[in-house]
Structure formats: C-alpha cells, structure tokens
C-alpha cells in the first residue's frame, strides 16, 4: 500500500512560488543579457510527486502531469517545469477523471450544476439517458417529463437535444455529460404510455426522432425494458431504432428485460439487437436479481463471454451495492404500469384490483415471477426512499413492513395507499442482490462502473433519502473492493472507471492521462479514499479525494468545491453542429 504524507498549504505555496521564482529568475537573466521580457510559466498547472495511474491498467509510475489550455500536454519525468500553479500529490494517486457509465442527473444538473455528489467522487463525466431521456420531448412525452421535473422546481424550455444541451451549457456544469436517446422516450412522444403495436407511420416517426437525436449529439440508443412504455417494444422494434443509431456510430445500451430468472433470455435479446443492428451493446447495472437466483452470476457471465468470443462487442457496468433503486410502483404487476398516473391511482382504489395484485405477488405471473417483493424476500426488503407530500415525509427511510405497522394496515394496502397519496409514483430501494454475485461480476474485465445515481446535494430534499450510490459509488470501489477486500487491483479499478468507460461510450478525448487529451484528472489517497454514505444516512460526501480537475480547471481544491463549472457537453460521433 502506498504511504502518504499530507500536503500542507505552506508546502503548496512554497512549491508554487518556487516554480514562479525559477521562471522569473531565468527571465530576469535573459532581460539583463538580451533585453528580453520575463518568460511566462510553461504550463497552467503541474501536478508533481504523485503516483500516476494513467487509466490503461498499467502499474503506477512516478512523474508529473502538466496541463495547458485545458489539455494534458506532458506526462512523466519533466525537467524543471514552470507553472502558474503546482499541486503537490505526495502520497496520492493521479488518475484520469472518472466516467460514470450510468447516471440520472439529467434534471438535477439544471437545479445545481455543481454536481456535488458526483464531482466529489472524482467523477468528471456523466453518461445520461436511459429508458427516458431529456429529449426529444413533445406530446404525451412532454406531459410526463413536466410532471417528473415539477418537484425540482424546473420549467422546461427545450424540445430537442440541441436545445437541452444548450441550456446545460448556458447555465454551466461542473462535470462533462453525454447522453443516449431513450427508446421509451420516443415511444412516449409518439404513442404515449400505451401497449399496442405502432403503425408503419408511427414507427417511422420514432425512427426520425432517433435520427434527429443522433444528429443533435446523442451517443446511442438506450432502453429500460422493465419500465413502461419501454416494455411494450418488441425486439424487432428495438432493432429498427438501433439501426438508426448505428448509422451515426452509436451504441445500444439496455436495462435488459430481466435480471433474475429471465436474465439469460434478456441478455440474448440484447445480443441479438446488437448483431442485427450492427452496433456495440452495453448492459446497464449487470446483476443477479432476486434471492432465488443468487449464485447464478457465473452463468450470466458465460453468456456475455461467449458472445464476445464470437465477435460481439458487448460490455456491462455495475454499482458496488447489494440493493437497487427504482420506482415503488415496480412492486405492482406490469399491467398497472400502463396508462397515465391518474389512471393508476384510480385502479389502486378498487378492492378487486388490490385483491388481484396480492394474488399476483404471491403466485407470480409469466415473466414476472421474480417480482420486487418476492425478490427481496418480502416487504422488509423494500425501503421507501423519496416521497413528495409533506405528510408522507415521515415514511422516508423506512421499510414497507414498518410503514404498514405505522399505518395499521396490511403491507399491500399500505403500498397502494401510499402510491395513491403520492399520485401514483415514488422511489424505493430493493435489497435483492448477494455480495458474492456483485464481486464475481466486478472481476470481469469488460464490466465498468456506473452509479445509476443522480448528481445531488443534501439540500435537494425532494430526493428524500436516496440510495447511497448517489454519493459513494466510485470511492466504495476503491476503498472496499480494492483496499479492503482485494477484489480488484488498483490499476484495474482505475481502468474500469476511465479508459474502459471511454472506450465503451466512444469518447475519444479523455479517459487516459495522455498528451493531447482533455485534462480531466482525479487525485485521491489510496489509503483513505472511502464512501461515507449509508442506507440510513445517504447524503454524505466521500473522503480521500482532495482534488478533481475538469478540462484543466480545478473544481475540488484540497477538499472544497470551488464553484467552477468548466464541464462540457460531449456529443456523439454523428453530431452535426
């Protein structure tokens, strides 16, 4: 393990001053002899004395990293570098900025562009867009989005990705972002939350929307196939939409149709879409869901590895926790996820509907045998995370069986009454995975890191008590799975967070510490880096990441956030500006 000496402010000032004095002294001699002006420092920023992990998976190397005009210009053993600022990284690791392969910060970045919970983890780029993306937006899709962002206090002023990206850039963000276009988003725009076959004209309209999104800068097509209306799309529908993304160099990313007993079939569908549409495939939050399926992760790994061995470019990501987070309404049978939220509320009021839900949960349905309640082992495995009504806030952070006792009701009735009160939707955490399966997936070389979280801050009370992954994903990998459990080596963990993520998403100008690439840099202490967020108290920033640099600008400066917002929109290969 690396030893560490805490850099002192006085030492930093000394090193910075020494570099400037050296430059000035040289210039004075030149002026005296030749009448020249004092020389400008060679670099904007130099990071010295650190252990450099360049993101490739190679072992650390000593040396310096020099930055000028937002780019890395030199890496290694530099000779007498001069800089406007010097950061002493003694005892620290200097790595590329981390890329979050799966993020839901689409709207919180418009609330607060500082992206506190992400940037403090060392994340410098977030990949947005899943089943529902921020654009394109019209028709029923506009109504659904506006309802979603209402608790955030936001007003929508965009329809296309071009307009959404422009607003992000206008307001300013501390992290870079890229986004997929959601297959469910274009379905909602054209058909609404309805389970029926689209006409030829409607299918063509969805393809046109994907085409426009790719030209606006989306990096590919994403689907969330356990969610309505994504779940209404057939394999052929998704192939048709993915072919459009393929024309622009995009990828197909999916929250697959099943992550438990149905996972092999769901993986086979994702692989088929990639092969027939002619583009890479990326699987979101790769997991083995539901207690009856624990221990079967090696079988899922085999499916992906066999596809890779025959030439399919398929990868995955995961978060380092045994609990997932999604809608509380996912406890309901799929039929009740159709239609509008108001229609769902009216259905939940009917005694006969509740009786049917109870039976379906107990006995299962075709394709829904591993429902969220059975998959967690019962109602105690369901933790309510975020509620919007003031009278319901007291239930945040409590398990459904506990909430039922407080309400004096059966858990199913308590669930229905809570959803009715909240307008049909809320957020919940589901304890449905095993530690052994998480570790087995993590060891696979083609599995990267994605938080499935949101850029948040403790002030965002509308997020309730969210999953700790919002605040702790990347430090948890480094602290728990590298330092404590030795599941990964440090160079490989950094590779998964940086160059692998860039390779997967098609980002070519970052992910490695190489001259000419963007100066996204994370500096952390391998001995102290750790997540502090817990399920009981999730809104806690991590420790051990003193510096984070985005596009050459220091955003986290020896601990505090500087308020800088140098982040950019990273547009896909097919973008037409």
Nearest CA among 398, 459, 468 for reference residue 426: 398
The pLDDT, as a whole number, for residue 367 is: 73
Asked whether residue 5 carries a pLDDT value surpassing 50, the answer given is no
Q: Which residues pair with 94 in a beta bridge?
A: 52, 523
Round the average pLDDT of the chain to a whole number and report it: 93
Query: What six digits make up the tokens of 260?
Result: 């438990």
457 and 563 together in one domain: yes
CB of 449 closer than 8 Å to CB of 100: yes
408 and 345 together in one domain: yes
350 and 412 together in one domain: yes
CATH code, domain carrying 103: 2.30.40.10
The Cα 159–Cα 156 span in angstroms is 8
Nearest CA among 289, 319, 291, 314 for reference residue 303: 314
Q: Is residue 306 part of a domain?
A: no
38 and 103 together in one domain: yes
The Cα 269–Cα 66 span in angstroms is 46
Nearest CA among 12, 130, 1 for reference residue 547: 12
The pLDDT, as a whole number, for residue 139 is: 93
Overall residue count recorded for the chain in this entry: 577
Query: What six digits make up the tokens of 482?
Result: 């590298």
Q: What is the pLDDT of residues 269-287, one digit of tens each?
A: 999 999 999 999 999 999 9
DSSP 53: -
Q: Is residue 331 part of a domain?
A: yes
Mean pLDDT, residues 263-267 taken together: 96
Mean pLDDT, residues 63-77 taken together: 97
Asked whether residue 148 carries a pLDDT value surpassing 50, the answer given is yes
490 and 397 together in one domain: no
Q: What is the pLDDT of residues 339-355, one digit of tens each?
A: 999 999 999 999 999 99
Chain mean position to CA 190: 27
Nearest CA among 375, 356, 348 for reference residue 429: 375
Q: Is residue 203 part of a domain?
A: no
The Cα 200–Cα 530 span in angstroms is 52
Asked whether residue 15 carries a pLDDT value surpassing 80, the answer given is no
The Cα 72–Cα 509 span in angstroms is 10
547 and 489 together in one domain: yes
Mean pLDDT, residues 382-393 taken together: 97
Mean pLDDT, residues 151-174 taken together: 97
Question: Final residue of a domain: which of 367, 402, 431?
Answer: 431
Mean pLDDT, residues 107-119 taken together: 98
The pLDDT, as a whole number, for residue 577 is: 79
406 and 335 together in one domain: yes
473 and 519 together in one domain: yes
The dihedrals phi and psi of 120, each to the nearest 5 degrees, come to: -75, -15
The confidence band for 375, taking pLDDT boundaries of 50, 70 and 90, is confident
15 and 108 together in one domain: yes
Instruction: Compute, in degrees rounded to 10, the torsion defined by CA atoms 350, 351, 357, 358.
Output: 160
The pLDDT, as a whole number, for residue 528 is: 98
pTM above 0.85, yes or no: yes
Name the percent of the chain lying above pLDDT 90: 90
Q: Is residue 457 part of a domain?
A: yes
Residue numbers of the domain that contains 548: 1-128+450-568
CA quadruple 363, 230, 379, 371: dihedral sign: positive
Q: List the single range of 154-158, 365-369, 442-446 with lowest mean pLDDT.
A: 365-369
The pLDDT, as a whole number, for residue 36 is: 54
The pLDDT, as a whole number, for residue 38 is: 64
The pLDDT, as a whole number, for residue 39 is: 80
The pLDDT, as a whole number, for residue 12 is: 36
Asked whether residue 27 carries a pLDDT value surpassing 90, the answer given is no
The Cα 385–Cα 463 span in angstroms is 8
The confidence band for 4, taking pLDDT boundaries of 50, 70 and 90, is very low
Q: What is the pLDDT of residues 410-448, one digit of tens each?
A: 999 999 999 999 999 999 999 999 999 999 999 999 999
Name the percent of the chain lying above pLDDT 70: 93
CB of 519 closer than 8 Å to CB of 70: yes
The pLDDT, as a whole number, for residue 544 is: 98
The pLDDT, as a whole number, for residue 370 is: 75
The pLDDT, as a whole number, for residue 371 is: 82
413 and 491 together in one domain: no
The pLDDT, as a whole number, for residue 366 is: 79
The confidence band for 18, taking pLDDT boundaries of 50, 70 and 90, is very low
Residue 142 burial class via C-beta count within 10 angstroms: exposed 0-12, middle 13-18, buried 19 and up: middle
Q: List the single range of 26-30, 331-335, 348-352 with lowest mean pLDDT.
A: 26-30
CA atoms within 13 A on the CB side of 437: 26
Q: List the single range of 66-80, 169-183, 358-372, 493-507 with lowest mean pLDDT.
A: 358-372
406 and 482 together in one domain: no
CB of 520 closer than 8 Å to CB of 97: yes
The Cα 304–Cα 19 span in angstroms is 51
Query: Distances from the Cα of 102 to the Cαs of 118, 126, 141, 280, in angstroms?
Result: 12, 7, 22, 16
The Cα 216–Cα 14 span in angstroms is 47
CB of 235 closer than 8 Å to CB of 281: no
Question: Final residue of a domain: which of 377, 397, 431?
Answer: 431
| Domains held by the chain: number | 2
Q: Is residue 424 part of a domain?
A: yes
Strand, coil or helix: 384 = strand
Question: Final residue of a domain: which of 400, 431, 462?
Answer: 431
Query: Distances from the Cα of 176 to the Cαs of 190, 283, 487, 540, in angstroms?
Result: 30, 22, 29, 22
The confidence band for 402, taking pLDDT boundaries of 50, 70 and 90, is very high
Q: List the single range of 212-221, 242-251, 368-377, 475-484 with lowest mean pLDDT.
A: 368-377
Asked whether residue 28 carries a pLDDT value surpassing 60, the answer given is no
Q: Is residue 112 part of a domain?
A: yes
8 and 122 together in one domain: yes
Q: Is residue 351 part of a domain?
A: yes
Q: Is residue 554 part of a domain?
A: yes
Q: What is the pLDDT of residues 451-490, one digit of tens each?
A: 999 999 999 999 999 999 999 999 999 999 999 999 999 9
Asked whether residue 11 carries a pLDDT value surpassing 70, the answer given is no
């Amino acid at each position: 393990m690396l030893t560490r000496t805490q850099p002192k402010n006085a030492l930093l000032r000394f090193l910075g001053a020494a570099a400037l004095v050296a430059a000035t002294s040289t210039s004075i001699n030149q002026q005296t002899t030749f009448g020249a002006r004092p020389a400008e420092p060679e670099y904007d920023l130099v990071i010295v004395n650190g252990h450099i992990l360049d993101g490739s998976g190679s072992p650390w190397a000593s040396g310096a990293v020099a930055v000028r005009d937002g780019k890395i210009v030199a890496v290694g053993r530099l000779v007498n570098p001069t800089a406007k600022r010097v950061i002493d990284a003694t005892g620290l690791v200097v790595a590329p900025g981390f890329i979050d392969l799966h993020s839901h910060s689409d709207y919180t970045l418009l609330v607060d562009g500082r992206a506190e919970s992400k940037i403090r983890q060392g994340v410098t780029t977030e990949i947005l867009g899943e089943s529902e993306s921020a654009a394109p937006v019209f028709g029923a899709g506009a109504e659904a989005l506006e309802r979603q962002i209402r608790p955030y206090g936001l007003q929508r002023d965009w329809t296309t990705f071009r307009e959404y990206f422009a607003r992000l850039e206008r307001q300013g963000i501390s992290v870079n972002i890229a986004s997929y276009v959601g297959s469910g988003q274009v379905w909602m725009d054209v058909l609404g939350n309805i389970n029926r076959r689209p006409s030829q004209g409607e299918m063509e309209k969805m393809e046109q929307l994907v085409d426009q999104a790719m030209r606006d800068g989306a990096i590919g097509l994403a689907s969330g196939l356990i969610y309505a209306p994504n779940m209404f799309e057939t394999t052929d529908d998704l192939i048709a939409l993915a072919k459009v993304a393929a024309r622009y160099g995009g990828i197909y990313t999916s929250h697959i149709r099943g992550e438990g007993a149905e996972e092999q079939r769901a993986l086979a569908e994702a692989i088929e879409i990639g092969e027939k549409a002619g583009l890479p495939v990326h699987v979101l939050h790769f997991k083995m869901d539901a207690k009856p399926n624990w221990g079967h992760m090696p079988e899922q790994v085999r499916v992906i590895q066999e596809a890779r061995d025959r030439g399919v470019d398929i990868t995955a990501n995961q978060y380092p926790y045994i609990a997932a987070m999604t809608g509380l309404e996912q406890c309901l049978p799929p039929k009740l996820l159709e239609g509008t939220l108001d229609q769902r509320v009216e259905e939940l009021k009917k005694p006969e509907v509740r009786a049917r839900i109870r039976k379906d949960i107990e006995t299962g349905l075709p394709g829904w045998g591993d429902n969220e309640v059975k998959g967690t082992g019962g109602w105690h495995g369901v933790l309510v995370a975020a509620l919007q009504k003031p009278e319901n806030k007291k239930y945040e952070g409590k398990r459904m069986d506990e909430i039922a006792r407080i309400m004096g009701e059966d858990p199913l009735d308590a669930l229905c009454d809570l959803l009715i009160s909240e307008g049909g939707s809320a957020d919940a955490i589901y304890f449905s995975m095993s530690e052994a399966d998480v570790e087995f997936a993590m060891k696979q070389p083609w599995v990267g890191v994605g938080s499935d979280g949101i850029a948040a801050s403790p002030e965002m009370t509308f997020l309730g008590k969210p999953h700790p992954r919002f605040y702790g994903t990347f430090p948890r990998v480094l602290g728990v799975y590298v330092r404590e459990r030795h599941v990964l080596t440090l160079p490989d963990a950094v590779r998964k967070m940086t160059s692998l993520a860039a390779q997967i998403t098609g980002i070519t100008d970052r992910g490695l510490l190489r001259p000419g690439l963007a100066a996204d840099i994370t500096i952390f202490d391998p001995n102290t880096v750790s997540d502090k967020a817990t399920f009981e108290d999730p809104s806690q920033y991590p420790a051990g990441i003193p510096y984070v640099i985005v596009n050459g600008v220091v955003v986290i400066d020896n601990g505090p956030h500087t308020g800088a917002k140098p982040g950019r929109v990273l547009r896909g290969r097919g973008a037409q500006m």
